[in-house]
Each structure stands twice: as C-alpha cells, then as structure tokens.
C-alpha cells in the first residue's frame, strides 16, 4: 500500500473512532495502526551506493533480516545437520569459501566455485552463468533442495519441524511474518534468507574512502596509479568490471533497466571446455548455444583480495609457497595477502596475454572463438603498471565488512 493510502486509512479510522470512543481505546487504536504501517527499512548505505531494488512480495524489515541471519548460519538447514549456507559462504572470505569448488553434505563437489555474496543485492542475475536465477528469494532453493549437485541435501519438511522445535525460532518467525508456528514455512525461510543477504553490503574499502569519501590518503600512490590502469583503454578492465560494484551486470533503484552481460574472458580454450561436461561450460549449459561456451557473469571485484581461488572453476590460485594454507606456505611465512597478490598477478598475466591459448600461458591450442576480442586482446603494461593494477585490486578489501558483527553467526 502506498503511503498516501495508509495516511487516508489512518485518518478515516482514527477520525471515525474519535466520534464514538473514549480516549483510552483511541490510544490503543493508534498503537494498532502504527504497528500496521510498514516501517521504512533503514538501509544505511555507504556513500555512492544506490538503494537496491527489492521484490514487492518481500519488502525489507529488520525482523526478517534478524531471522535470516539465524537461518543462514543454521546447520538445521541441511538434511544431516552438518552444513549451513555459512559453511560454503564464510564472512572472513567475503562469503566465499576458499576452496576450488563448493563441497556439499555428501562430499560431492559443486561444478563451480562458491561465490562471494558481498553486494548480491545489486545482481539482477545470480550465480556464475544461470540467467534464470533472478532473485535471492528463489535462488536459495538450489542449495537447499538441489540434487545435481547435492549441497544442503534437504529432501523433506523435517527441517521445518526442527526449526519449530527450537524455542528461538517461533518468536523470530512471528516477528518477521506474523502468525506463530504456522509462519515457519519454506517460503518464509527463503524470504528471510534473502532479506538478510540483501544487507550484506560492502562499501568501506580503502578505494571507497578514496573515491566516495574524499579521503585522498586512503590509497597508496601505487594503488592510485593502478586505478588509472584499471580504468584505462589499454587494460579495458572497467568495461566488464565497471561501476560502483565492479561488474557490468547490475540493477538498482537508479537504473531504468537491468544490465545483464555474460562474457568469455579467455580463461580456457575451446579444446579444454569441449572435454568437460556441460555444467562446466558456462552459459551454454542453460542456453545450449555453442558460442555461449565459456561465458560467465563478470564477478564483482569487491573484496577480491580474499575470494581466491579465482574464476568460475577456481582455476587461478596462488603458488604453494605463497599459500598460507599449504604446508610449504606456512614455512615460507605466507599470508592471505601474499596469496592474493600472487594469484591476482596470474589473473593480470592472463588478461595481458589476451586469454589462454595460441602460445599464451604455456597453452598451444587456439584461443577460444567466443572471446570478445575488442576487450580481451594482448596488451603491454610495464612491470610497475602490473604491480600497480594488482595493488589497486587489493584496495577493494573492506575489512569492516569481513568482521561486521551484523553478518556474523549468531550461534
Ligand atoms: C556446498 C556449498 C554451498 C552451500 C551449502 C551454499 N552455497 Fe551458495 N553458492 C555455492 C556455489 C558453488 C555457488 C555458485 C553457483 C553457480 O554458479 O551455480 C553459490 C552461489 C550462491 C549465490 C549467488 C551469488 C551471486 O553472486 O550470484 C547466492 C546468493 C548463494 N549462493 C546463497 C546461498 C544460500 C542462501 C545458501 C543456503 C541456503 C547457500 N548459498 C548454500 C556454494 C554453496
Ligand atoms: C570482456 C569482459 C572482461 C574484461 C575486459 C575483464 N574481465 Fe575480469 N572477468 C570477466 C569474467 C566473465 C570473469 C569470470 C570468468 C570465469 O569465471 O571464467 C572475470 C573474472 C575476473 C577475476 C576473478 C574474480 C573472481 O572472484 O573469481 C578477476 C580478478 C578479474 N576478472 C580482473 C580483471 C582485470 C584486472 C581486468 C583488466 C585487465 C579484467 N578483469 C577485464 C570479464 C572481464
């Protein structure tokens, strides 16, 4: 209901009651009406960030966000109670999981890398390459109930009974949706998860302080030079990773249309993809159009310093001696930063070669025919410019987001 209609309702109801009721019940009526008015949700967005578009059937409320936070981290949402959404989406890694592929409850590997969830509120299409995944409200069905692959492996309503049996949940569901135990439904679970995920907004990185808050000392000289390389016509990065969210697939209250693009950035050759099963071939899996092989949504580069291994298949990772989670890495004093720096340098090498193949990156097969060669073509940067570009990418890490208690597990 529009605000005007609410005001009309208030004045009608309250006005009529004035004629026939005493002041005590008038106050009760007023309280009732105030409770009915949808409270505008306070986004508290970082400077430079537009208001996300929210589906009309699931308006934001703090109560749904609070419930969604519990559900996101609750292993009761998996059939064997061993895994939650948070098990594959870790806050310290900007809600990615650090593995090459997500691993579900049966140990089955997902065909793709677990994505970070920062600023998912602005993605008009979700997942690496499925244009049918349009809303956070429906996307969660896939990890909850999907069987190819099995992620959380839910196969019946037992999880709802478990939630009802946990004394925390009926009050949380009632506050979010009204209606006591009956409000513990599959749809309300998904809606609350969506509302919570929409609040995972990351806009406090050094880049944001520099760019949106006028703090000219937030970036180093190298990072400022790297920003120019990123936005320049030699490296062309900004064409696919542009805008406040560093991706060209974007939708928010200041867009009139949804911007949706899928690109082949040359991560693999056609020879390589042809040998893989269809679910590893990107957009082609859904459209069945051969030239869509190897096409993916350009990921947001926010927090890219913690979301390695990179690409849809986690194929770009740091060397073992730069990896803090590898035995030799510990010996070498490796940290997450050394790993990110090393892996991002490989990403830049791949782009500067115009993608894998035709002799680039040790691969003699032809380059993929679906590469958009106006944007992905060999370019030359000096060693300093490459370093600067990597340092700039590292300035997109928002440490406050990675530890903000609002997004951490309540358990
Ligand atoms: C087994 C690990 C795993 C679990 C558990 C899991 N996810 Fe994911 N998530 C992934 C992977 C892998 C992808 C990439 C999917 C794809 O490309 O098809 C992904 C993608 C997503 C995306 C799309 C992000 C984007 O940028 O488009 C959202 C949203 C998401 N997951 C939310 C959830 C929620 C909510 C839950 C719990 C109900 C959950 N995930 C459970 C592994 C997991
Ligand atoms: C033609 C569009 C396009 C251009 C230009 C482009 N990218 Fe990408 N980028 C993509 C796509 C698509 C992916 C995902 C590809 C995949 O998963 O196989 C990607 C992935 C990445 C990733 C991995 C992120 C992650 O979370 O896995 C990084 C880092 C990256 N790009 C940085 C850059 C930089 C730096 C430049 C400029 C040198 C650049 N990109 C230019 C489309 C592009």
Q: CA 243, CA 203: separation in Å to the nearest integer?
A: 12
Are 291 and 282 in contact, with CB atoms under 8 Å apart? Answer: no
How far away, in angstroms, is 198 Cα from ligand 2 center? 24
* DSSP codes joined into one string, 86-103: HHHSBGGGTTB-SSSS-B
CA of 111 to the centre of ligand 1 (A): 12
Nearest to residue 154, comparing CAs of 141, 163, 165, 166? Answer: 141
In the structure encoding, which two tokens stand for residue 126, read together?
Answer: 């979700």
Per-residue model confidence (pLDDT) at position 40: 76
DSSP string, 104-163: -TTSPBPSSPPPP-TTGGG-SS-TTT-TT---HHHHTHHHHH-BTTBSS---STHHHHHH
Please state the residue numbers annotated as binding site.
Answer: 85, 88-89, 237, 240-241
Q: What is the DSSP letter of 39?
A: P
**Beta carbon of 85 within 6 Å of any ligand 1 atom:** yes
This prediction has a pTM of 0.92
Specify the CATH number of the domain 206-235+262-296+304-395: 1.10.760.10
Nearest CA to ligand 1 atom 5: 85
Query: Residues forming the annotated binding site for heme c?
Result: 85, 88-89, 237, 240-241
Rounded Cα distance, 304 and 94, in Å: 9
3-state helix, strand, coil in the chain (%, to 5): 45, 5, 50
Residue 345 tokens, joined: 């340098």
Q: Closest ligand 2 atom, CA of 389?
A: 35
CA distance 101 to 312: 9
Angle between helices 23-36 and 3-20 (to 10 degrees): 170
**Are the beta carbons of 96 and 307 closer than 8 angstroms?**
yes
Vertex 319, ends 313 and 324: CA angle to 5°? 95
Q: How far apart are CA 62 and CA 224, in angstroms?
A: 38
| CA dist., res. 24 & res. 40, Å (int) | 28
Q: What is the per-residue pLDDT for 328?
A: 80
Cα–Cα distances in angstroms (integers) from residue 79 to residues 30, 83, 105, 348, 393, in the given order: 45, 9, 8, 41, 39
| Nearest atom within ligand 2 for CA of residue 128 | 17
pLDDT at 39 (0 to 100): 56
**From 2.60.120.260, 1.10.760.10, 3.40.50.1220, 3.60.20.10, which CATH number describes the 62-202 domain?**
1.10.760.10
Does a cis peptide bond (omega within 30 degrees of 0) precede residue 348?
no
For residue 277, what are its two tokens?
A: 């099963």
Do domains 62-202 and 206-235+262-296+304-395 share one topology? The answer is yes
DSSP 298: P
- Give the angle 295-296-300 at the CA atoms, nearest 5°: 150
Residues 238 and 46: their CA atoms lie apart, in Å, by 21
Is residue 282 within 6 Å of ligand 1 at its C-beta? Answer: no
The span from the CA of 394 to the CA of 352, in Å, is 18
- Residue 213: partners with Cβ closer than 8 Å, 6 or more residues away: 47
Residue ranges covered by each domain of the chain: 3-36, 62-202, 206-235+262-296+304-395
Report the separation in Å between the CA atom of 335 and the middle of ligand 2, taken as the mean of its atom positions.
Answer: 23
Q: How far is the CA of 143 from the centre of ligand 1 (A)?
A: 6
Q: How far apart are CA 6 and CA 244, in angstroms?
A: 35
- Contact status, residue 307 vs residue 344, Cβ threshold 8 Å: no
**305 alpha carbon, closest ligand:** 2
Neighbours of 98 (CB within 10 A): 18
The closest-lying atom of ligand 2 relative to the alpha carbon of residue 263 is 12
Query: Ligand 2 centroid vs 261 CA: distance in angstroms?
Result: 12
Closest-approaching ligand to the CA atom of 303: 2
How many angstroms does the Cα of residue 36 sit away from the middle of ligand 1? 34
Q: Strand, coil or helix: what is 360?
A: strand
From first to last of its 411 residues, the chain has per-residue pLDDT tens of 333 333 333 333 333 333 333 444 444 444 444 444 445 799 999 999 999 999 999 999 999 999 999 999 999 999 999 999 999 999 999 999 999 999 999 999 999 999 999 999 999 999 999 999 999 999 999 999 999 999 999 999 999 999 999 999 999 999 999 999 999 999 999 999 999 999 999 999 999 999 999 999 999 999 999 999 999 999 999 999 999 999 999 999 998 899 999 999 999 999 999 999 999 999 999 999 999 999 999 999 999 999 999 999 999 999 999 999 888 877 778 999 999 999 999 999 999 999 999 999 999 999 999 999 999 999 999 999 999 999 999 999 999 999 999 999 999
Instruction: With beta carbons less than 8 A apart as the criterion, state whether 202 and 94 touch.
Output: yes
**How many Cα atoms within 13 Å fall on the side-chain side of residue 295?**
21
Q: Residues for the chain: how many in total?
A: 411
- Would you tell me how many other CB atoms lie within 10 Å of the CB of residue 75? 18
Judge if the beta carbon of residue 308 lies within 6 A of ligand 2: no
DSSP characters for 183-244?
Answer: G--HHHHHHHHHHHHHT-----SHHHHHHHS--TTSS-HHHHHHHHHHTSTTT-HHHHH-TT
Coil, helix or strand for 399?
helix
Give yes or no for a cis peptide into 309 (omega within 30° of 0). yes
Query: Does the CB atom of residue 263 touch ligand 2 within 6 A?
Result: yes
């Amino acid at each position: 209901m529009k605000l005007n209609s609410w005001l009309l309702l208030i004045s009608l109801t309250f006005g009529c009651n004035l004629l026939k009721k005493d002041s005590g019940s008038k106050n009760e009526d007023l309280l009732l009406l105030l409770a009915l008015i949808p409270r505008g949700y306070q986004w508290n967005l970082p400077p430079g960030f537009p208001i996300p578009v929210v589906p009309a059937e699931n308006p934001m409320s703090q109560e749904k966000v609070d419930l969604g936070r519990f559900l996101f981290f609750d292993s009761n949402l998996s059939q064997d109670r061993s895994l939650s959404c948070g098990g594959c989406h870790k806050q310290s890694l900007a809600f990615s999981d650090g593995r090459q592929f997500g691993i579900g409850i049966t140990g089955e590997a997902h065909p793709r890398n677990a994505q970070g969830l920062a600023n998912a509120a602005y993605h008009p299409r979700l997942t690496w390459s499925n244009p049918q995944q349009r809303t956070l409200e429906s996307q969660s069905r896939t990890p909850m109930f999907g069987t190819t692959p099995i992620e959380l492996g839910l196969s019946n309503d037992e999880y709802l009974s478990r939630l009802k049996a946990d004394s925390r949940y009926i009050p949380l569901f009632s506050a979010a949706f009204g209606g006591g135990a009956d409000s513990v439904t599959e749809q309300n679970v998904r809606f609350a998860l969506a509302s919570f995920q929409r609040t995972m907004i990351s806009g406090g990185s050094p880049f944001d302080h520099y760019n949106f808050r006028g703090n000219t000392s937030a970036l180093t000289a190298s990072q400022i030079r790297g920003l120019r390389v990123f936005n320049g016509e030699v490296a062309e990065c900004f064409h696919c990773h542009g805008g406040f969210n560093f991706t060209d697939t974007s939708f928010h209250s200041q867009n009139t249309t949804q911007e949706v693009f899928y690109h082949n950035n040359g991560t693999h050759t056609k020879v390589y993809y042809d040998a893989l099963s269809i679910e590893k071939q990107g957009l082609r899996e859904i459209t069945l159009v051969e030239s869509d092989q190897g096409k993916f949504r350009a990921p947001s580069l926010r927090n890219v310093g913690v979301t390695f291994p990179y690409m849809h298949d986690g194929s770009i990772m740091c060397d073992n001696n730069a990896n803090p989670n590898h035995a030799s890495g510990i010996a070498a004093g490796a940290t997450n930063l050394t790993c990110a720096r090393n892996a991002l340098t490989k990403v830049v090498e791949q782009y500067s070669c115009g993608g894998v193949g035709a002799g680039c990156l040790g691969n003699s097969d032809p380059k993929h025919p679906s590469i958009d060669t106006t944007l992905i073509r060999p370019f030359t940067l000096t060693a300093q410019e490459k370093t600067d570009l990597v340092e700039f990418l590292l300035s997109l890490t928002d440490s406050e987001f990675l530890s903000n208690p609002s997004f951490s597990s309540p358990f």
